[in-house]
Amino acid sequence: MKIERPKVAIQGIRASFHEEAAIRYFGENIETIECNSFKQTFESLKKREADYVVMAIENSIAGSILPNYTLLLDYGFPVVGEIYLPIQLHLMALPGVKFEDVKYVTSHPIALRQCVDFFDEYPHLKIVESSDTAACAKRIRDEQLTDTVAVANALAAQLYGLDVLERRIESNKRNFTRFLIMTQHDNVEKKPANKASLCFQVSNKVGALAKVLNIFAEEGVNMSKIQSMPILGKRNEYNFYVDVEWEEQKQYDASIRQILKYTHNFNILGEYERHDDEPTTTPKPNRTERSTRKYINIRRNV
């Protein structure tokens, strides 16, 4: 079922990386449903207040977001797509604010850690952690803070009317986050698939998991991701979350038929088209202006 202007639930507010991922996947003609937590996004979909959920599942630096795997299994909404988003972080402030007058920098703690090399050059800046990158940009706009800069994406600077003082301050220019797209079962469009997200358990015996993984290999199905999660209250028992990719449907079908014999509580979380676009990065900007900035000897508050 084609929805002309889908309602997309995200964790965070407008101009967050979740909304940027949603726009890249669906286009700009969406209605963003802002939620305070990942669980709230699923509740929004459950109540049909939203048509889709866009949720981060892993980052190339920070790794997997483990609680989100549990949400996938608990709610059972099918995964219908994925998007890889390059994480590009910029330093932004109210128009007219000069860098030498700034005392505080605020952002999500993970974003701040990803810019540690930049901030090591400016020990006078006091670090203030917050729950959301875009919310920090919005707060600067709303409260007209002239002594504070935010670390967020270009979308936040545009939406909240901030000037970008420094672009691409993240230490690792090959930093990407993978987002999954979920929807209601009755909203799934039948499309050709070449990737699937699976969840299953195996017996606690020697070689039980290896037997399953060997089936994928024998059928020519590539396992692109495996993540284990302990089952609450059960010693030595785990859910295995696996992403697999294939070139021909018959490879995938044959592997599923076989591994059903060696697994229990088997779930297909979603079958969808993998995101094949090669992520690109832009060169680091020339920082000729940085050498002219004044240092202020104020101890950094970590």
- Name the band, by pLDDT with cuts 50, 70 and 90, for residue 276: confident
Same domain, 103 and 252: no
Same domain, 185 and 38: yes
Please check whether residue 165 lies inside any domain of the structure: yes
Q: Give the pLDDT confidence of 46-63 residue by residue, as tens digits.
A: 999 999 999 999 999 888
Percent share of the chain, pLDDT over 70: 91
Same domain, 13 and 132: no
What's the whole-number mean pLDDT along residues 122-133? 94
Please check whether residue 301 lies inside any domain of the structure: no
Averaged pLDDT of the chain = 91
Conformational region of residue 236, where left means phi above 0, alpha means psi within -120 to 50, and beta covers everything else: left
What domain range is 139 assigned to? 90-172+282-292
**Taking the chain, what is the end-to-end CA distance rounded to the nearest angstrom?**
50
- Please tell me the total count of domains within the chain: 3
What's the whole-number mean pLDDT along residues 102-121? 94
pLDDT score at 105: 98
Beta-bridge partner residues of 34: 10
* 8 Å CB contact between 25 and 81: yes
Distance of CA 76 to the CA centre of its chain: 19
Same domain, 11 and 145: no
Same domain, 165 and 17: no
pLDDT score at 56: 97
What's the whole-number mean pLDDT along residues 87-109? 96
pTM of the model: 0.87
Of 42-46, 141-145, 233-237, 253-257, the least confident: 233-237
Same domain, 185 and 41: yes
Conformational region of residue 65, where left means phi above 0, alpha means psi within -120 to 50, and beta covers everything else: beta
Same domain, 103 and 224: no
What's the whole-number mean pLDDT along residues 239-247? 98
d(CA 91, CA 105): 9
Q: Which CATH number covers residue 132? A: 3.40.190.10
Same domain, 82 and 2: yes
Q: Give the pLDDT confidence of 24-45 residue by residue, as tens digits.
A: 999 999 999 999 999 999 999 9
Please check whether residue 297 lies inside any domain of the structure: no
Q: Tokens 């128009």 label which residue?
A: 95
The more confidently predicted of residues 20 and 288 is 20
**Residue 39, token pair as written in the block:** 């669980």
Same domain, 96 and 236: no
> Above 90 in pLDDT, residue 92?
yes
3-state secondary structure the chain: CCCCCCEEEEEECCCCHHHHHHHHHHCCCCEEEEECCHHHHHHHHHCCCCCEEEEEEEECCCEECHHHHHHHHHHCCCEEEEEEEECCCEEEECCCCCHHHCCEEEECHHHHHCCHHHHHCCCCCEEEECCCHHHHHHHHHHHCCCCEEEEECHHHHHHCCCEEEECCCCCCCCCEEEEEEEECHHHCCCCCCCEEEEEEECCCCCCHHHHHHHHHHHCCCEEEEEEEEECCCCCCCEEEEEEEECCCHHHHHHHHHHHCCCCEEEEEEEEECCCCCCCCCCCCCCCCCHHHCCCCCCCCCC
**Residue 78, token pair as written in the block:** 């099918």
